[in-house]
Amino acid sequence: PDSLLKDICAFITDNTSGENHVIAANEGTALAIAAGHYLATHRIACVYLQNSGLGNTVNPLLSLCSAKVYSIPALLLIGWRGEPGKKDEPQHLLQGRLTPNML
């Protein structure tokens, strides 16, 4: 998903079978797939994404994973582009500032 997670992405691609690693069209779909995986297996899935895609996870987080709805657990591994105090590309700076409050 981004340069911050490139090493873990390469590791997963090189060491994980297709049935255990699903590349989704977007972050929301990835989280919905993770929720379905949990319902089918009772194993928690990890969804990795860049923080710029965090907004795409809002609907599945609230409609599936929330403790007030279905309480489906998921592990989110989020690369933090635009982290305050770190040099980054201009397009990542606003999202970087907003990320902690979004979580």
Residue 2 banded pLDDT, cuts 50, 70, 90: confident
pLDDT at 1: 58
pLDDT at 95: 95
pLDDT at 17: 87
- pLDDT tens digits for range 23-74: 999 999 999 999 999 999 999 999 999 999 999 999 999 999 999 999 999 9
Beta-carbon contacts of residue 35 (< 8 Å; ≥ 6 apart): 60, 64, 65, 70, 72, 74
Coil, helix or strand at residue 53: helix
Whether 19 has a pLDDT exceeding 70, the answer reads yes
Coil, helix or strand at residue 23: coil
Residue 84 banded pLDDT, cuts 50, 70, 90: very high
Beta-carbon contacts of residue 45 (< 8 Å; ≥ 6 apart): 33, 34, 37, 38, 74, 75
- Over range 69-82, report the average pLDDT: 97
